[in-house]
Structure 1
């Protein structure tokens, strides 16, 4: 009795394997991958590295990396002092930080020769990821920085960020008096 049961399981297993092989074959041929020319072309492209080189994208990603690094360095002291910057009662601080970072990010993008749209996208990404801003808030701060009055407080914040980024990109350091925390102290944000 046990022998019959084992043989019936073997037959069922072989039937399942046959069905699996049949289905794989049908899916493979239906997808068009069975054509040897297609496979050869794919392998040739992979071996030769025939991938489109999009220099604009590479420049944008390199600028994003630099902007994230700069922002992380600047926000370290602020986060140590204030902890969670995402609290509702710290919106005034997020606005001041955003203006400073927008100036820095814009300069980093300009130095890399990124276009206006790319610089805007980089600024939006950095603000949203570091300050947990909504798209609407990040866009509002960006517009505020873009359409600021000359010599206004907002203008001074944006320019200070740009100067700090210029120093950082040239000398790989930010003098204490140009840092975000020093600028916030100078503007009376922490007073």
Structure 2
């Protein structure tokens, strides 16, 4: 009989397949390939530009493959390239307004999954989120998960500062308690903390 951990990974994998299928079905109708659709989603939450190397790491693809996809998106008018503000020799990638609208439509293509999760009780949603964050933390510890702008890797995150079990953590940026249900894995205000503190933060979810 399969172990519980094996069944969990199988369930996560199946859900991931369903999500990708929904996104790819939409993307194909928009004359985009899967990598191009994923790049648009990655850039959607980024106010500041990102480097091509970052895109490649996030998607676990080669720099050459990422470059081909970005060039195709630029040709479609969905992505623009600009000189990096912090390094005049480097190039940053940004969504155009048309690209931002496309990314929003791609996100809507997986709305069926949001609806499914929303039908769970608030307690079940919080437990599910906490468990998934713990899995991500373990994968990051093993260097098997790409860089995140997560609360738990941010210098503003203060673990277990409060006695309230419903909101034990604290966000120094907004100076307010932080319930587990409000933890984010992609926050635009993220500022990385040091690696030692990151380990402590992730352990706070155990």
TM range (shorter): under 0.3
Bigger Rg, which one: 1
Task: With the length of structure 2 as denominator, give the TM-score of the two structures.
Answer: 0.26
Task: With the length of structure 1 as denominator, give the TM-score of the two structures.
Answer: 0.27
For CA contacts below 8 A with separation 6 or more, give which structure has more relative contact order.
1
Q: Whose helix fraction is larger, Structure 1's or Structure 2's?
A: 1
